[in-house]
Amino acid sequence: MPAGRPRDRAVDDAIRLAVFELIAEQGYQAVTMEGIAARSGVAKQTVYRRYSGRGQALVGALTEHGARHIPVPDTGTLAGDLAALLRDTFDSLTAGIGAVLRAVIAETLHDEALAELYRREHVELRRDVVRELLARARARGEIGPADDEFLVDLVFGPMWYRLLIGHAPLTETLARQLAAAVAAAAAIPAD
């Protein structure tokens, strides 16, 4: 199976960079397949060769950027771990990733295939971290049997709520309160 000309890695970078710059400078509306091509100095077809649409481009740029490694905190207590994780997450969302995530969600809302991709490539990785924190706390005897999936929803729900509805910012206070609330909920015996 002959290979043909290999893909140019520099093009991948140019596209990803263009996506981030467009979203930062002109907002999500400006992220358009045509705009990405123009901004990155790449042919439209070349963008389509990598991503089948705006949404795929956003998810692609995102995962290539942030999925490197998600630090798993270890402070000794569940509440401490959760507070540290949330603080870190809030920081990166506030720094700029938040705008990208909002754009990604806007796309997933009318493309279930993309939603599935996004959940697999991004959401589940974050949920796994919390699952691990819960398992560790349980190993320490800090919490008993519980519905971990519900607890994970409890950890991330308010964050997404504020990020997407925009009625309140992602503050450090929220991180602390949430960590405490989840720890308390984890102590409730599962039903």
Partner DNA sequence: CGCTAACCGAGACGGTACGTCATGTCTTGAC
Partner DNA sequence: GTCAAGACATGACGTACCGTCTCGGTTAGCG
Token look-up 């709520």 returns: 161
Q: Angle at Cα 22 formed by Cα 109 and Cα 156, nearest 5°?
A: 40
Residue 6: CB minimum distance to DNA, A: 5
Residue 11: CB minimum distance to a copy of itself, A: 16
Residue 130, both tokens: 């919390």
Figure out which of the listed residues 102, 131, 136, 138 binds a copy of itself, where binding follows CB under 8 A.
Answer: 102
Residue 100: CB minimum distance to a copy of itself, A: 11
Helices marked H in the chain: 9-26, 33-40, 44-50, 54-66, 78-92, 98-108, 112-118, 124-139, 148-165, 172-187
* Count of chain residues binding DNA (CB under 7 A): 26
Query: Between 27 and 76, whose beta carbon lies closer to DNA?
Result: 27
Q: What is the C-alpha R_g of the chain? A: 19
Q: Give a three-class secondary structure readout of 111-155.
A: CHHHHHHHHHHHHHHHHHHHHHHHHHHHHCCCCCCCCHHHHHHHH
x/- mask, a copy of itself, residues 128-167, rule CB under 8 A, reads: -------------------x-xx--xx-xxxxxxx-xxxx
20-49 binders of DNA (CB under 7 A): 30, 32-35, 41-46, 48-49
Binding site for a copy of itself (CB under 8 A): 27-29, 102-103, 105-106, 108-110, 112, 115, 119, 123-124, 127, 147, 149-150, 153-154, 156-162, 164-168, 173-174, 176-178, 180-181, 184-185, 187-188, 191
